Amino acid sequence: MSDHHHDHDHGQAPPSDIALRVKALETLLVEKGVVDAAALDAIIETYEHKVGPRNGAKVVARAWTDPAFRTRLLADATAAIAELGFGGRQGEHMVAVENTPAVHNLVVCTLCSCYPWSVLGLPPAWYKAAPYRARSVIEPRAVLAEFDVILASEVEVRVWDSTAEIRYLVIPQRPAGSERLDEAALAALVTRDSMIGTAVLPPVQL
Amino acid sequence: MNGIHDMGGMHGFGPIRPERDPPVFHARWEARVLALTLAVGAWGRSNIDAGRHARELQPPDKYLAWPYYQSWFERLVGQVVEQGLVTETELASGQPETTLNPALPADRVAAVLEAGGPSARPISEAPRFGIGDRVRAQTINPPGHTRLPRYVRGRVGIIERDHGGQVLPDTNAHFRGECPQRLYGVRFTGHELWGEGARDSVHLDLWEGYLEPA
């Protein structure tokens, strides 16, 4: 049976006919004029090349280097992020939560796959899969350990379950050794996972 | 509904399998499904809450087994028929019987994505709760859509934020109106949710009607 050839390890390898079924529906919808083929390409181009975690990294680097921006970001993240030109779909209502030596924030959506597209792009497969959604709220430290994040016991973990249309961006701690880097160099250090809360940025080796 | 989607706190799903630098899409059909979903959505015949609820109604075994974007695709197939965008006959034959003008032409994609779909709504009612108030999440088991997960029902938390008025998914998902209510950020301790020995805290955004004074 063809089922035995499928790799279900990441929940991503499709059955062999799904690509054909998608193509058939797309062809019908384009020929009927329900959708515009060029619009489909433009949407994909947007999320593959324009809207992604580099947006969020710029927000974080600005917060690290501009205390007034950091204050505005923590007070009204939607407006502060809009200053950098980011907003729109799945980023309409933003809240930024800041990691400190005492507090570590972790973002999840237990009910579906809510994620701040405007600053992080589309969510990675693991974020949308059952293990992360089920476990993050009940055993966040075990989840973090699977990302090689081991927190001291005195650090408080705050888990943000995205149950409404508010989208959360974690401001990671600025890495040790980064004091002399400018905003652009700092942005290059910021990873997607650090803005979900599943990574801590390592010290900079100069 | 008490569906398989409401999985916060469940055991048995195994390890997480992080990917350090995954591609945005693992196969091209995934990208096409995302784009088709957004382009069909531009017809405005449904809403985000109804879309989420449709996926919650997928059979639990399939919900867990399907790759993520296949779940979106199966929803899309149902959606285009329900919304009158294609007929069952067209779906079966692959041949359009009539033609339309796309709701989302390519030159409007950037503007539509940048505009998004804000869900904040003005409400005139004074807030029932203030920052720092103790509240209990209601014990409810509605058969329809709700964003009150099972793992907080009946539990006591503290109001931390007032997000203002927001569209209520419980009615909007069923096309019974936006019925905006005030949305609060509520903090629950791990001990309250999971019992003795649990640490840390979980924060959820909950509508006023989900909460009662504690």
Q: What is the pLDDT of residues A104-160, one digit of tens each?
A: 999 999 999 999 999 999 999 999 999 999 999 999 999 999 999 999 999 999 999
CA neighbor of B186 nearest in space, from A37, B23, B213: B213
Residue A6's pLDDT band, with cuts at 50, 70 and 90, is very low
B201 touches chain A (CB under 8 A): yes
Tokens, residue A180: 């002399």
Tokens, residue B139: 């014990």
Q: How far is it, in rounded angstroms, from Cα B85 to Cα B100?
A: 9
A135 touches chain B (CB under 8 A): yes
A121 touches chain B (CB under 8 A): yes
Determine the residue among B43, B53, B72, B109 to mutate to test chain A binding: the one whose Cβ has the most chain A Cβ atoms within 10 Å. Answer: B109
Q: How far is it, in rounded angstroms, from Cα B31 to Cα B37?
A: 10
Q: How far is it, in rounded angstroms, from Cα A121 to Cα A53?
A: 6
Tokens, residue A100: 């400190």
pLDDT tens, N- to C-terminus, chain B (214 residues):
999 999 999 999 999 999 988 999 999 999 999 999 999 999 999 999 999 999 999 999 999 999 999 999 999 999 999 999 999 999 999 999 999 999 999 999 999 999 999 999 999 999 999 999 999 999 999 999 999 999 999 999 999 999 999 999 999 999 999 999 999 999 999 999 999 888 899 999 999 999 999 9
Tokens, residue A148: 């090689």
Which residue does chain A place closest to B204, by CA atoms? A161
How close A174 comes to chain B (CA, Å)?
20
Positions of A annotated as catalytic residues are: 109, 112-114
Q: How far is it, in rounded angstroms, from Cα B53 to Cα B149?
A: 14
Pairs across A and B, CB distance < 8 A = 280
Judge whether B201 and A184 are in contact, CB under 8 Å.
Answer: no
CB contact under 8 A, B18 and A146: yes
How close A206 comes to chain B (CA, Å)?
23
CA neighbor of A2 nearest in space, from A19, A22, A16: A16
A113 touches chain B (CB under 8 A): yes
A100 touches chain B (CB under 8 A): no
pTM above 0.80, yes or no: yes
Kindly provide the ipTM of the predicted complex, given to two decimals. Answer: 0.97
Find residue B185's DSSP bridge partners: B161, B205
CA neighbor of A194 nearest in space, from A64, A76, A79, A68: A64
Judge whether A18 and A24 are in contact, CB under 8 Å.
Answer: no
Judge whether A109 and A115 are in contact, CB under 8 Å.
Answer: yes
What's the distance, CA A14 to chain centroid? 23
Q: How far is it, in rounded angstroms, from Cα B162 to Cα B118?
A: 17
Which residue does chain B place closest to A50, by CA atoms? B110
Q: Give pLDDT tens digits for B55-70.
A: 999 999 999 999 999 9
Judge whether A157 and A100 are in contact, CB under 8 Å.
Answer: no
